[in-house]
Structure 1
Amino acid sequence: MRTRLLYKVLIVKILEIDAKTILSKHSLAIPQGTVVTSPMEAFNAADSLSRPVVLKVQIPSSGRMKAGGVKFAQTPDEAKNEAAVLLQTTINNYSANNILLEEKLSVNSEIFLGITYDADSRTGVILGSVSGGIDVEKSDKIARAIFSPQLPPPDYIGRQIAIELGYESKDLLNLSRIITALVTCFIQSDALLLEVNPLILTSDHEWVIADVHMELDDDALFRQKELLKHVPYSNDLVLQTSDFEQLAKEIDSSDHRGVAGRLVAFDGNLGMLMGGGGASMTIFDAVLNAGLNPANYCEIGGNPSVKKVKELTKLILQQPSVDKLAVIMNVVSNTRTDLVARGVIKGIVELGLIPKDVISVFRIPGSWEKEGYDILDHYKVSYFGRETSIDEAVDSIKCRF
C-alpha cells in the first residue's frame, strides 16, 4: 500500500507514451508507434509499420519487463496474439487497458541516462551507464555530473557524460546534445525524475529513446498547465482524483495559511489527521504496522487556520466507513496545538458528534500545547504529550477499538 501511496501523494508519474510526447517537443527522437486498445488494433498497427514490433503496457509502475508487461512480435498476427494476452493480464496490480506498440529498433549499443536531485548537495544530478536495460542497477561504472536547476544546463555537462561513457566523434556530439535537451526538459517540467532506459544508438547511428520513466513534483503542477494538456493517458490513469480528494484540495486552497488538505482516500475506518516535519509517512507506517485500517493519508502543517482544520475534519468524518479519528503530529514549532485542537473539536461538534467518542488519540506536542490541552480537557478528550512516542500513541488506539 505504501508504495502506491508514495506514487500518488508525493509525485505524479507520467506514463511512457505521454513522457515520449513531452520529449519529442524537445526535438528528441522516439520510435514510430501508436497506442492500441484491442488485438485488432495491434494487428493493424503492426501491419502499418511493416517490421517487428514491441508491445508495452502503459501503467504507472516500473519493472514492466520482468513482470511480463513487455512483449515482442515479428508479424502482425503475433502482435495481435500478444496484445490479446496483455489486455487480459494484471501487471503490478494494474490492468493493461492501453498498450504502446512501437517499431523494434536495431541496436548498435544502448545506455542508461537518469536525471534527478541529489538531496545532500542540493543540486540536480545526471547519471549515465553503458549498462542500459533492465539490470542497470548492477552496473559497476556510473558517469556522474551535477547541475543547477536554477540555470540553463551548460553544454559541457553533456560532453562530460558522453566522454565518460566512451563515445567519440559524431556519436559523442549527438549524445551530448541529447543529454543537454533532457536536462532542459527536466528543469522546465518541474520533474523529480527523468530516466531514459535504454537510450539506443541504432545501426544507423541515430540516438532514439526506447523507454522513459518520468515523475513530476505535484506541488509544481499549478505551473505546468500547458504540459498537462499533452499527457492524456496519464490524466486518465494517474492524475485523476476522487471527489473526496478534490474537496480536500478546495479546503486547502480556500486559505493561504498552512497546509490542511493534501489527502488520499483508503478503505479503512480510522480517519487520520497527521503531519509535523515530514512525520506523516512515519505515522502512517506506524498505523499500518499496528494492524489498523486507515481511511486516508493526509498532511497538515505550517499552522493551518481553525477553519481549514475544521472543514478537513468534517470531510474525513463524513466518509461512510469512518468511525474514529486519530490526530497525531511530531513535536511542532510552526503549527499551534491549540488551533488544531479547536478546528478538530469544532468540526466534530458541527457534525453533531461527541469529541471524546470520536477522537481515538490526540498527540500534538509543541507550540501553544497548554492552551490546546485546555481545550481538549474541556471536552474530556484524552491526549498525549512529547513523553509518548508516535508508536506508543498509535498502539493506544487499539485499546479503543
Structure 2
Amino acid sequence: MDLDAFRWLLTDAGQQLLVEATHAWADADGDVVRAAAAVRRTEPVAEHAAAALTQVQLRARAVAKLGDDAVRMYFTPDGLEQATRARVAAHRAARLAFAAPASVVDLGCGVGGDLVAMARAGLTAAGVDLDPVRVEVARANLAALGLAGAVQVADATAVDVAAFGAAYADPARRSARGRELDAEGWTPPWSFIEGLLAESRGTPAVVKVAPGIPHDLVPAGVEAEWVSEAGEVKEAALWSRRLATASRRATVIPAGGSGLATVTEEDDPYDGQPRPVRAIGRYLWEPDGAVVRAGLVTAVAAAVEGGLVDEHIAYVTGDDAVRTPFARAYEVLEQLPYREKQLRAALRERGVGRLTIKKRGVAVVPEQLRKRLALSGDAEATVVLTRVAGEGRAFSVRPL
C-alpha cells in the first residue's frame, strides 16, 4: 500500500470515499470488478480509489478475526494475516496487565492489533515497526478506536527495552521468499528473541510464536502457553522468568460467549510419571489441540478419572460422562472393523451416508477415505480411527 494514498484516506475526502466504497462493495455483492468500476466513477485518482477499495475488502476479511472493531480499523494484507485474533490478544494483554508493568513496548507492532488489546487492558503501550506504512496504519487504528498509545518507525533490535516495564514481540515469520522456517530468519531474529526471554536487558518479556514451535526451541525457565480459540490452536506465547507462572500451559477459549479455561503441569498428577493406559471405556475424549501441544493430555485423563487408549495417542477413555473444557467428549457405541473393505460393509449395513471421521495416530486421510467408502445411506455417524496397544482400531461414537 502506498503511504501517501493511505494518508489521503484519513482526510475528510478519503473518509467519504471509504463510505462510498463500502456501499459499492455491498451493492456489487463482493464482485471486485463491479465495485472497482463504481468507485472509479466517484474517485478518478486511481491510487485513491484502490486504497479505499482495498480497505473495504480487508475490513470484510478482518471481521472473522477482530469482530466489530474491523469495520473501523485499517489494514495491510500482510498486517492482517499476522494480526492476532481479538479474543486471543485480549487474553494475553489481560495476563500481561495482571503483572502491572509501568509500560510495555510492542517490538514489531504491525498494524497495531496487539497494541489495541494492550491499551484496552489498561496498559501504557508503545509500538515500533520498520515499515512506515504499518506504523501509520497502527497509529490510525488506535485513533479510530479512541485508544491511547505511541507508534513510531524504528528497528526493534535497536530499541532500549530497559526504558519499559515489559516488552512484547511477534516476530514476522514471512519474508520475500514466503514462510521462513529458520527462526534466525524471523524479524526480529531468534537470537534477539532469546535475549528478550532471558531478560538480558532487565525487562520481562512475552513473545508470540507459531503453535508448532519445536519444544526444544523454548529456552529453559520460560513458560510456554499454547492458546486455542473455538477448538483451533492459534498461537504459543512464551513468558520470560518474571512473567512465568508455570512451565507448560494450555489455555482454551471457547467458541462464542466469554471466559476461558487454563491447565498447567501442576494440574497433572502424572507429570513425570508413567502414562495411564487402559482399555476402551464407555466414553472417549479428544483433547483440545492446545492441550496436546502443551503435553498435558494426562491432565485431562486425571480430570475425567480415565486413561489413555495408547501410550502414544492423544485420546483419553473412561467410564463416566465427565465434561471438561479441555476435551470434546464422545460416547463409544461400538467397535467397528478397521480394515477398509469390512468397515465399508459395516457402515452400509447400518445405512450410513453422512460420515464424520476423526483420527489420531493412523495414516488415514479422512477426505480420501470418505470418498473411497462411497456411502449413500440416510443415517449419520461419527467414526474414530486410532491405535490401541499399537494396532489400528475403529469405533462408532456419538458426540455428547
TM-score (norm. length: structure 1): 0.29
TM-score (norm. length: structure 2): 0.29
Structure with higher RCO (Cα < 8 A, 6+ apart): 1
